[in-house]
Amino acid sequence: MKVMEETIEELRKNPATEHALKNILRRIGLTVPEGIECKNLPDNIDLRYPVVLKVSDEKILHKTDIGGVKTGIRNREELQSEFKKMKDKFPESSFLIEEMIEGGIEIIVGLIKDKSFGLSIMVGMGGINTEIYGDVTFRLIPIEPRDAEEMIDEVSIGKFTGSGFRGKYVDRDNLVNFLMKISEIGSLSDDFLEQLDLNPVKINGKDIYVLDAKLIKT
């Protein structure tokens, strides 16, 4: 796993903007939406509509709360107008334009540091399920595949594996592999990582997309 180690080294040295972080996740074999980072809207973008426009600034951690995310942009005209609005709101920041991923279920995955126990990995159902129902579970880093399996079954995600639930389905093996990779990131970055938030992560059968990624260093 030389790629993994090199990648973590890069993460340690450089500021982790969402775009940089996603590129790193892509390099270690995770899937993120196709996207570009820019200060001004380029004449041509090689992306499939609909797209999502987000402010990309390390200093802004809760971009949705301050109007820094616009989803469902259907064409060039809409993009131009939304970009201008966003640019007026955040004149100093960069922006991320990404292809929008539709369908599937949303989960959250993260790494979080505890003073006594060090880094642990968290997985849970996304959206309100996390906040209202506490549908999340934790394990210490590193986990074994069996721990990942047990985590999936402890939260509602387990109900979507196997034959799925109401037409929505989660491929269990792929999700286990995904969690193993996040655990490995944790093992290699224990010295500088305080928190990693992948929220949401969208799962559609075998496909797992990291839609948003945040990293806080110690």
Partner 1 sequence: MFENLFDPESIAIVGASQNPSKIGFAIIKNLVESGYNKQIYPVNNNAEEILGIHCFRSLSEIGEKIDLCVVALPASSSIETVRECVNLKIPYIVLIPGGFSETGESGRGMEEEISKIIHETGTRIIGPNTVGVYFPYSRVNTALTPPDRISFPVPGEIAFISQSGALGLLTMDSISEYGVGISAFMNLGNRIDVNEIEMLDYFKSDLKTRSIAMYIESVENGGEFYNMIREVNRIKPVVVLKSGRTNASAKAASLHTGAMATDDRIFDGMLKQAGVTRAYNEVELLDYSRILAHSSPFKGKNIAVITTAGGVGVITTDYISASENGIGLNMAVLSENSRELIKKSIISFGSSENPIDLTADGSVSAYDSVLSILEEDMNVDAIIAYALPQTPKMNMGITDVISKHMERGKPIVVGVIGSKLGRELLIEFEKRKIPAYPSIERTVRSLKVLYEYGKYMEGREA
Binding site for partner 1 (CB under 8 A): 112, 114-118, 120, 122, 134, 136-140, 143, 146-147, 150-151, 154
Complex with partner 1: residue 56 or 129, whichever CB lies closer: 129
C-alpha distances (whole Å) from 177 to each of 28, 147, 172, 208 are: 12, 12, 9, 11
Q: Which is nearer to partner 1, 35 or 124 (CB)?
A: 124
**Minimum Å distance from CB 145 to partner 1?**
12
Rounded to a whole number of angstroms, the minimum distance from the CB of residue 117 to partner 1 is 3
Residue 101 or 185: the one with the smaller Cβ distance to partner 1 is 185
Nearer of residues 30 and 148 to partner 1, judged by Cβ = 148
- What is the spatial distance between Cα 21 and Cα 86, in angstroms, rounded to a whole number? 22
- Closest separation in Å from C-beta 140 to partner 1: 5
CB of 119 to partner 1, least distance (A): 10
Closer CB to partner 1, residue 143 or residue 185? Answer: 143
Q: How far apart are CB 198 and partner 1 at their closest, in Å?
A: 18
Min. distance of Cβ 161 from partner 1 in angstroms? 18
Of 42 and 118, nearer to partner 1 (C-beta) is: 118
